[in-house]
Amino acid sequence: MLFYFMPCVPNMTIMTAEVKNGGGPGLFLWLFLCGTLLFALVSISAAQIFLAAALAAWLLLLAVKKERPAFPAFFWLLLAYAGLSLVSAAFSIDPATSFKDCRELLLFLAVPLVFAAFLSLPRTKAGAACLLASAMASCGYSLFHFVLRSSPGERATGFMGHTMTQGGLLMLFSLLALALFLFLKEKLRWLWAAALIPSLACLVLTQTRSAWLGFLVGATALLGIYKPKLLVLPPLLVGLFFLLSQPLHKRFSLVSELRERALSVFSLKDKSNRDRLEYLRAGWKVITLRPLLGTGPDTVDEVFTDPSLALSGRAAQNVHLHNNLVQIAAERGLPAAAVWIAFLAWAAVSALRVFRRDEPWPKALAGTALAAVISLFVAGMFEYNFGDSEITVLFLILITLPLGLDAATRRAATAGTEIP
């Protein structure tokens, strides 16, 4: 694997030249972001430490170069969303809790950080290699634990400690691996195809239905823009799973668990599905009571015990509404929800524009970004994944990578230079 990524490592001449030209902070910004990707699926604390270091390097870079921050156009909508969140916090039913939660808005700065750091194809390949190593370490641990240490009915969590976080991260990584396999022209594509196998296996073992659906729809979109004839493949594979699992589910407990889990996706007999319907009704009541600013970030759980919402005792013990759009509207207001939808749409359109280019890597990364938007939205119909910091950071990195690489390529072409 290292053989394929050797060109990604900058030599000492390039590193020395960058430092002499005031680009040292830029180099460290890139290295720290690579560290974030390296620990993305392995250690939450380490990933956040590297991200904080990257932020410091970025601020130093802006000071040294005396330049304004650069970022893709959709970042304006993230700034608007952050602004509306702060206004909502000011009028929250619990301002202290809301302002504390607003600290996570700083994660949005991952967008300009990535936009400033991944300025060339070698740097982008190195970042992808770090994420690949992180995912394979997570999958290796998950498979080891499942085979040797798991108890019956246990769901895989990897290093994350929660199945939904692990499922969301693997969903995004699997879409990246699939896109790179489909659109790259070099032998490296087979490495990503190989990585897709353990990644999907571990995604299945999380038994996270929202991530399953998100990946399925995102993968269908990727196959559709690659070769429309392949759109028949996802439903065929799903049908094949149910066909083959029918005679096996009575003999193998794992097959039985997975089959029942898949069949329960839209079943009202499933307790968690009934809870989600209660959350939707409760969320709508909260929205009608405070439509403009909501109850305030991270406070909707405080009104769950209100008798007027008529939640069951089990449902009232939860801390969120298991739906991105309803959660955002209930906590931050309908304007914030509208801005969030506009942000996703703008990110998708931006990815499509880069996808039209002929270069394999920008095309593959743009396809990843489009699939990531689709999958996050679909999975987010059943889970508040935009409130999961680990998923949010990886999502923002994936949708920014193709735009940063494309912008840097265009600037280099205009100046008649080559970016190291």
Expressed in angstroms, the distance from the first to the final Cα of the chain is: 22
Decide: helix, strand or coil at residue 66.
Answer: coil
Taking the C-alpha atoms of residue 101 and residue 331, their distance in angstroms, rounded to an integer, is 11
Taking the C-alpha atoms of residue 193 and residue 4, their distance in angstroms, rounded to an integer, is 14
Q: For residue 224, what is the enclosing H or E element?
A: helix 209-226
Which tens digits make up the pLDDT trace of 307-364? 766 566 666 666 678 899 999 999 999 999 999 999 999 999 999 999 998 889 999 9
Is 103 buried (19+), middle (13-18) or exposed (0-12) by CB count in 10 A? exposed
Show the beta-strand stretches assigned E in 63-170: none
Q: Residue 318: its pLDDT value, please?
A: 67
Is 45 buried (19+), middle (13-18) or exposed (0-12) by CB count in 10 A? exposed
Asked whether the beta carbons of 157 and 206 are under 8 A apart, the reply is yes
Asked whether the beta carbons of 155 and 162 are under 8 A apart, the reply is no
List all residues 6 or more positions away from 155 whose beta carbon is below 8 Å from its beta carbon.
163, 205, 206, 207, 208
Sign of CA dihedral 54, 59, 63, 69: positive
Which segments of the chain have a pLDDT < 50?
1-22, 419-420
Asked whether the beta carbons of 399 and 373 are under 8 A apart, the reply is yes
* 74 phi/psi in degrees, rounded to 5: -65, -15
Asked whether the beta carbons of 176 and 125 are under 8 A apart, the reply is no
Torsion of CA 373, 375, 378, 379, to 10 degrees: -120
Decide: helix, strand or coil at residue 292.
Answer: coil
List all residues 6 or more positions away from 84 whose beta carbon is below 8 Å from its beta carbon.
332, 333, 335, 336, 339
**Tell me, what DSSP letter sits at residue 156?**
P
Asked whether the beta carbons of 278 and 312 are under 8 A apart, the reply is yes
**Tell me, what DSSP letter sits at residue 364?**
H
Q: Residue 315: its pLDDT value, please?
A: 61
Taking the C-alpha atoms of residue 192 and residue 388, their distance in angstroms, rounded to an integer, is 26
Model confidence, pTM: 0.91
Q: Residue 65: its pLDDT value, please?
A: 87
List all residues 6 or more positions away from 91 whose beta carbon is below 8 Å from its beta carbon.
293, 296
Q: Residue 219: its pLDDT value, please?
A: 97
Q: Residue 20: its pLDDT value, please?
A: 40
Decide: helix, strand or coil at residue 378.
Answer: helix
Q: How many CB atoms lie within 10 A of CB 315?
A: 21
Decide: helix, strand or coil at residue 92.
Answer: coil
CA 321 to chain CA mean position, Å: 19
Taking the C-alpha atoms of residue 107 and residue 403, their distance in angstroms, rounded to an integer, is 18
